[in-house]
Amino acid sequence: MIMWIIDSYYRDGHVELWERGERGRATLHRIPCTPDFLFQVPDADSHWQMIEALSEQYSLHECQFETVYGTCHGYRAGAGRQVADAILEQTCHKARLYNVDTRPDHRYMAEHTLFPCGEQEESRFSPDFALPGRVMEIDVLENPYSTQECRQVRVTDSGPERKDILSGDEKTVIADLSGIVSCFDPDVILFPGADIWVPRIVAKSRHYGLDPPFSRSGMFRRIEAKSYMSYGRTEYREGSLMPDGRVLIDTRTSFNYREGGLYGVILASRLTGLSPNLSARFTAGTLISGYEVYEALLREIAVPYRKTDAEGTRDVNDLRACDRGGMMFQPVPGLYEDVFQIDFTSLYPAVIVLHNLSPETITCPEKPGFLPAVLAPLLELRYRTKQLKKTNPKYRGADSILKWMLVTCFGYTGYKNAKFGRIEVHERITSCSRDILIRSKDIAEAEGATVLHGIVDCLWLQGPGREHLKARIEEETRLLTELESYDWLVFLPMPDGFGAYNRYYGRLTHGSVKIRGIASRRGDTPEYIRRVQTGMLDLMSTASSRREINEVSGAVRGLYRDAIDGLRTANPQEMAIHRQVSRLDYSRNCPEASAVRACRAAGIPVSPGMEIGYVVRDAKKWAVDLSWEADGFDVPYYQALLDRAWHEIEFSLKEAAG
């Protein structure tokens, strides 16, 4: 019996599973795996020649199989994706194909009730599980953009705890690194910049005649770099090499690691059935899609290929009436005291489960839906980790990963290529959530509360009986909520004077400041400005009322004056602006266009969606330096950015002064 799988993939007609050994040495299991898929044609008699030809060349037999819509009668073909595409073309895309593009290792584990990083008798939905035994951290102490050579590396091993600095000529450093990895044989390697450095180190190892480090077999799998669109933004995924038999995580680029740490990455792997190498690299949307596919395979439900049910045929009146988004109540800008927030926990997935929303239930609402069935245990686990993290920070990573997976499950219901999505489900979810928010507002006002702001899944209120109101809303909606209380809260204005929906900050009753949408929260804010605004908010966090904000107002203004005075002598590295470039060719001059040109001049390949760090040297010409090369900056330009961050704070000081 195969236990505790640390890595999985498909190669040369075999599913390869790496099992963590009791003494740390991993064991490779190679299982022969012949590709096959299922298909159904609307009229088999009219395609008899194709079916006969398939029978002669491949293993083909009639069968029946389950889909989310019910039982289908069709065929199982012992062939791969190329043959599946030929069937689609031959039938003018009228054939329905299933299980064509599922990962063979993913499918094998689901069919044999296996999952990564856990024992077979464990529950995948338990928040308590063992992490991989030995973790090594590797950090190349060089700028990957200014040099191609690896001459200084820091290695930290978790057991026994030790640190080594490897330095010297590149061949010696790589040889020493390979020896350390081989000797200590870690299951997990945490490596900032791995997606840049590992391909270089592997190529240099082979050039020097050395065994490449990192892989237990000496072999690697490649994920190609790509640019893609997500929610209207151009994103970029760095290409990477994944070693056989070990988990290698680029801690700098992995969103899932940054959000959930190793604990979150391993939980995502256990839930989705994908190897930790993949769960660290994939987006939250791909994780929830992988989870749904794994659950479908576990339940022996066929997974559609090139689906055609993204949207049913609808008349124009239905299209006009369909729901197009969530509900929002616009706030009045200002400083408010004694505010509380009622936030629905994972509202959209909770609506899916509560209202039995799934592609197949749109026309048959009485039928138990696939999406509610598979999301229910994930939602229950989120409820548990959300409570557990309040007393034990160990669970924060798990809760964060679950939050993002559940957030994206809503978006995937409206994504045309989602395996189990359909736009009518997406619209029905937003319609239900809007009704819930309006009903909650009515309940709050009936109980004597004043609604200050509302956006999709939460309300900000003032008034008595907040615990009672929370219980009333939960009873009426049958959904769980979270209650947060503020000593004071600031809703910032937009340029037109109306309240901004997503720019606010306030002091929670336990003393910390919650911020959304302001400079210190945004990813493109220079570190100098972020530090200044964070210092102002830290001072304001000592004030629990409008009166006390007034008392610290002078000290906060002093921080702003000090920041202005210190701007000219500030470190240029702290002025770096990090932004994603949406394109490579710009019709007008702008800092992003100059940054792309600077990268090309430095020999750095650039792709749409890639993040570039630059410092503005001359704002009139939009001349920039790459962040690590900057030795100066345009002071008036950065003072304007500092002033903008200051005005976000100054607004509340003026409101406090009355």
Alpha-carbon Rg for the chain, nearest whole angstrom, is: 28
Q: Of the residues 477, 493, 517, which one is the last residue of a structural domain?
A: 517
- Looking at the fold, whether 167 and 269 belong to one and the same domain comes out as yes
Q: How far apart are CA 605 and CA 196, in angstroms?
A: 12
In this prediction, residues 422-449 reach a mean pLDDT of: 93
State which H helix or E strand residue 50 sits in: helix 48-57
Strand 226-230 with 328-329, pairing: unpaired
State yes or no: pLDDT of 502 exceeds 90.
yes
Q: How far apart are CA 368 and CA 473, in angstroms?
A: 26
- Within a domain: 549: no
In this prediction, residues 261-280 reach a mean pLDDT of: 97
- Looking at the fold, whether 208 and 335 belong to one and the same domain comes out as no
pLDDT at 317: 74
* pLDDT more than 70, % of the chain: 97
Residue 22 binned pLDDT confidence (cut-offs 50, 70, 90): low
Neighbours of 376 (CB within 10 A): 15
State yes or no: pLDDT of 229 exceeds 70.
yes
Query: Looking at residue 100, which CATH number applies to its domain?
Result: 3.30.342.10
Residue 312 binned pLDDT confidence (cut-offs 50, 70, 90): low
* Domain limits for position 165: 135-279
- Looking at the fold, whether 209 and 258 belong to one and the same domain comes out as yes
For residue 192, which amino acid is it? P
Q: Please answer whether residues 627 and 568 qualify as being in contact, where contact means their C-beta atoms are separated by less than 8 angstroms.
A: no
pLDDT at 396: 95
- Looking at the fold, whether 255 and 397 belong to one and the same domain comes out as no
pLDDT at 286: 92
- Looking at the fold, whether 257 and 357 belong to one and the same domain comes out as no
Q: How far is CA 471 from CA 342, 440, 449, 591, in A?
A: 11, 11, 14, 51
pLDDT digits (tens, 9 = 90+) for 553-592: 999 999 999 999 999 999 999 999 999 988 888 888 899 9
In this prediction, residues 493-511 reach a mean pLDDT of: 94
pLDDT digits (tens, 9 = 90+) for 600-636: 998 888 899 899 999 999 999 999 999 999 999 999 9
Q: How far apart are CA 221 and CA 199, in angstroms?
A: 11
- Looking at the fold, whether 213 and 148 belong to one and the same domain comes out as yes
Could you identify the residue written with the tokens 């994103």? 235
- Within a domain: 33: yes
DSSP string computed for 459-470: EEEESS-HHHHH
- Looking at the fold, whether 351 and 479 belong to one and the same domain comes out as yes
- SS3 for 523? coil
* pLDDT more than 90, % of the chain: 79
Q: Please answer whether residues 435 and 414 qualify as being in contact, where contact means their C-beta atoms are separated by less than 8 angstroms.
A: no
Q: What is the 3-state secondary structure (H, E, C) of 200-245?
A: HHHHHHHHHCCCCCCCCCCCEEEECCEEEEECCEEEEECCEEEECC
Q: How far is CA 208 from CA 154, 165, 175, 205, 539, in A?
A: 21, 21, 9, 5, 56
Q: Of the residues 111, 143, 160, which one is the last residue of a structural domain?
A: 111
Q: How far is CA 141 from CA 149, 632, 643, 655, in A?
A: 11, 24, 35, 48
Tell me what the pLDDT averaged over the chain comes to.
Answer: 92
Domain count, the chain: 3
SS3 content of the chain, % helix, strand, coil (to 5): 40, 25, 35
Phi, psi of 461 (to 5 degrees): -140, 160
**Is residue 631 exposed (0-12), middle (13-18) or buried (19+ Cβ within 10 Å)?**
exposed
pLDDT at 632: 95
- Within a domain: 205: yes
- Within a domain: 491: yes
For residue 213, which amino acid is it? P
Q: Please answer whether residues 269 and 242 qualify as being in contact, where contact means their C-beta atoms are separated by less than 8 angstroms.
A: no
- Looking at the fold, whether 344 and 482 belong to one and the same domain comes out as yes
State yes or no: pLDDT of 23 exceeds 70.
no
- Within a domain: 545: no
- SS3 for 654? helix
Q: Chain centroid to CA 476: how far?
A: 32
- Looking at the fold, whether 78 and 222 belong to one and the same domain comes out as no
pLDDT digits (tens, 9 = 90+) for 43-52: 888 899 999 9
In this prediction, residues 488-512 reach a mean pLDDT of: 95
Query: Looking at residue 184, which CATH number applies to its domain?
Result: 3.30.420.10
Query: Looking at residue 347, which CATH number applies to its domain?
Result: 3.90.1600.10
State yes or no: pLDDT of 159 exceeds 70.
no
Neighbours of 409 (CB within 10 A): 29
pLDDT digits (tens, 9 = 90+) for 173-191: 999 999 999 988 999 999 9
Q: Of the residues 501, 517, 533, which one is the last residue of a structural domain?
A: 517
Tell which wins on pLDDT, 442 or 233.
Answer: 442
For residue 528, which amino acid is it? Y
Tell which wins on pLDDT, 508 or 320.
Answer: 508
- Looking at the fold, whether 369 and 404 belong to one and the same domain comes out as yes
- Within a domain: 61: yes
For residue 430, which amino acid is it? T
Residue 324 binned pLDDT confidence (cut-offs 50, 70, 90): low
State yes or no: pLDDT of 489 exceeds 80.
yes
- Within a domain: 530: no
State yes or no: pLDDT of 209 exceeds 90.
yes
pTM of the model: 0.92
pLDDT at 18: 95
Q: How far apart are CA 613 and CA 374, in angstroms?
A: 41
DSSP bridge partners of 60: 77
- Looking at the fold, whether 13 and 58 belong to one and the same domain comes out as yes
- Within a domain: 382: yes
C-alpha dihedral sign at 257, 263, 264, 270:
positive
- Looking at the fold, whether 78 and 184 belong to one and the same domain comes out as no
